[in-house]
Structure 1
């Protein structure tokens, strides 16, 4: 069945106003589409959107050596475009901080892996960090005070840094609205409870207030919540990570300005405090958490269901503090002022999923950030718009296609080449009610 006609007067419905939804709305509006509506159960920025964050890593490297497979080339195409967007697009440029990036490990195996996969195959300029003092010298005195036990790393000063994802998403949202995009947000008016089907096609979506929003074309870009609206044939696994904030004094925040991102592939990473709230963000590194419950579509199997929570498991707090003891022990015992779990959706091969649905020609799927979605914000909407128009470049189109064959016999507990923590995917069902942080709401509300 062919996809329906498309022109600038076609009605287009985007389900999801997160990172990719806002980017797509912006790019469609810039291309002259006049009848675009976006639905989301939350306002922008959504409290559960992966992109609702004070900072995210932005890194690009060209594939070389062992990384010249189709997926790596496709990802490089997307991230190269994104980096250019962060540097030149006035909607996004103010929120990119090209402060540099340190990648490191603390076991012989991981250090060798980083050298082979990240450094030897890169065209960038990396400086080797062999000692604790080498690490300390990458930042102003008094920032890195740890002993960095067994750490080795490499520092790149260009083409990488961090983005203020939340502000960038709001900027894209505001510009899309200015260009005529209609956003319907909040529960129940923006909460999509079902896609609407007719004659084998998807003709719109029904929201919790009972309204049916019909459209010529529907784009499903609801991130980790997407597989609750469509059977993805096991292609999506909602996976969560854990982040925490430490409140800094204004003097500390000033000293911690313009810092490179410090990332240990098995322990965690941190980025400089945001300029508004002076919050230092720390993430403990691990293969992720899922929330497994019985899957009604596949008897005897389980599926991961996202939920929002502004606390993290105590084991995640312990990992974050271990990372701080290695790097900034003077902060290791300071109280957390904020924490939350952050959801994304993993595909089996961690390539994006951007394609027309084979059985529903009016439905375009735009999901599967797989931990790398937020940094694509300036340009991912352009690739999604290309897919809608049927002109996505061939090499990219093949990699991001609808591909249920990759999910046959899928191992839901696969670490997908991620490291840290217990080196396995964890289950929130195993975290007891009293095994979460108890950050006071008075502290959270100050944010």
Structure 2
């Protein structure tokens, strides 16, 4: 008699949750034993993974993530459910130092496939590849740049919805409501209590809840009196980043047709407008922040701010505009204001490795974690769930991946951002200098 397939409950329908549901749907004899919950319909707007676009690129100094990204790009390019959403327009990668750029390109060379082309910083716009977006870009203090023809962008909202639709077509159950709390029986996490009063139980529960993971798990840690070093906040932290969206004119759309994505070192990323995407988006990677609250037990955790994610403090806008207008794309942004702003929240790990493992506390049997996208996880929608299935089945993903994605015994708090979102509100209260 074949082993009984365990029931699976996935909390969160972002990148990791949707990918896991998809791969379970493809491998389970009875996919109806898989249930995925999120507060919003697919694609869930609050999720870090869902936006008008996300950059797809294999440019990592880590061979592990470079190889994973190439694997994912194969699915983005050829996968029947995803290929229509991927625009392989190429990418300009600008780095703070020549050594860092060379480190990434050496990873490509060791793989035996390197189509990149070095670019002089002064040639960024004269090369014609920037299509006007790079005009006036400040390159002082930057080290090197190169062109990667294999990079591009994807309509993240539509691609996520497509993968979820495929999972549901095979029988995965989709529940749209808020999770109120985790249900705990002695020695195991048995399921969840929902905001509408229902209780759902399963043999295995996966927290794929991104930036909301600490708020779900912290009450249970309080109940178990978990030691501070063993709490989830040492592994991941809800972190925010802001994006500015500029609506392009008809003439700009024509000029920017098939313009490349731009990764401007640690300052952020630009995805130019196109016929399929009328917004030029800049994401500020330099200014990341947390939102600390104190739980009933006195523990401090970071959680996504309440209210609309489109409600961005004016001081944060000004700081981001300073980067846009003086460094990243000054000519494009000259004399114009952003059409709208958005704060994106994600679970960020100190090392920016995923956290994909069984929870190590034996008192939390049946609980698994698939979080830690660190604002870079979306490109792995096609393949992250494949590796999560091995974790669920107690199989190794190989020594390197197992080590990188494991629960770290000595969580490094120094790797987390410390700037508070509320600090921007305090800056707004200060009188501004006369110009």
TM-score by length of 2: 0.84
- Alpha-carbon separation, structure 2, partners of 1:233 and 1:330: 40
Q: Which residue of 1 aligns with 2:425?
A: 432
Structure 2 vs 1, CA of residues 268 and 136 (structure 1 numbering), >3 Å: closer, same or farther? farther
**Local SS of the residue matching 2:32:** coil
1:16 aligns with 2:2: no
Of the three residues 56, 68, 83, the one matched with 1:78 is 68
Q: Which residue of 2 aligns with 1:381?
A: 385
Q: Which runs of 5+ in 2 are unaligned?
A: 219-231, 430-435
Measured after TM superposition, the shift of residue 209 of structure 1 is 1.1
Measured after TM superposition, the shift of residue 172 of structure 1 is 0.7
Q: Which residue of 2 aligns with 1:407?
A: 411
1:217 aligns with 2:204: yes
**Local SS of the residue matching 2:266:** coil
1:93 aligns with 2:91: no
- Alpha-carbon separation, structure 1, partners of 2:126 and 2:420: 36
Measured after TM superposition, the shift of residue 141 of structure 1 is 5.2
Decide which structure has greater helix share: 2
* Deviating 4+ runs (over 6 angstroms): none
1:178 aligns with 2:169: yes
Measured after TM superposition, the shift of residue 125 of structure 1 is 3.4
- How well do the aligned residues superpose, as a CA RMSD in angstroms? 2.6
- Alpha-carbon separation, structure 2, partners of 1:15 and 1:80: 27
TM-score by length of 1: 0.82
Structure 2 vs 1, CA of residues 389 and 7 (structure 1 numbering), >3 Å: closer, same or farther? farther
**Local SS of the residue matching 1:266:** helix
Q: Deviations over 1:77-120 (max 9, x none)?
A: 43232122212211122222222222214xxxx22342343334
- Alpha-carbon separation, structure 2, partners of 1:126 and 1:260: 14
Q: Deviations over 1:294-347 (max 9, x none)?
A: 3555x4x63211124203333443334532444341433312112110011112
**Local SS of the residue matching 2:259:** coil
Measured after TM superposition, the shift of residue 287 of structure 1 is 5.0
Measured after TM superposition, the shift of residue 434 of structure 1 is 8.7
Measured after TM superposition, the shift of residue 19 of structure 1 is 1.6
Q: Deviations over 1:118-146 (max 9, x none)?
A: 33444223333324343342436544331
Q: Which residue of 1 aligns with 2:324?
A: 323
1:201 aligns with 2:197: no
- Alpha-carbon separation, structure 1, partners of 2:64 and 2:123: 37
**Contact 2:49 2:156 (8 Å CA) reproduced:** yes
Measured after TM superposition, the shift of residue 153 of structure 1 is 3.5
Structure 2 vs 1, CA of residues 119 and 178 (structure 1 numbering), >3 Å: closer, same or farther? same
- Alpha-carbon separation, structure 1, partners of 2:324 and 2:339: 17
1:52 aligns with 2:56: no
- Alpha-carbon separation, structure 1, partners of 2:296 and 2:66: 37
Q: Which residue of 2 aligns with 1:67?
A: none
Q: Deviations over 1:338-395 (max 9, x none)?
A: 2110011112322111111232332221111122211111111111122112224222
- Alpha-carbon separation, structure 1, partners of 2:18 and 2:348: 20
- Alpha-carbon separation, structure 2, partners of 1:24 and 1:116: 34
Q: Which residue of 2 aligns with 1:303?
A: 301
- Alpha-carbon separation, structure 2, partners of 1:97 and 1:250: 20
Q: Which residue of 2 aligns with 1:393?
A: 397
Q: Which residue of 2 aligns with 1:370?
A: 374
- 199-208 or 265-274, which moves further after superposition? 265-274
Q: How many residues align?
A: 401
**Contact 2:214 2:233 (8 Å CA) reproduced:** no
- Alpha-carbon separation, structure 1, partners of 2:56 and 2:196: 39
1:256 aligns with 2:247: no
Of the three residues 347, 354, 357, the one matched with 1:355 is 357
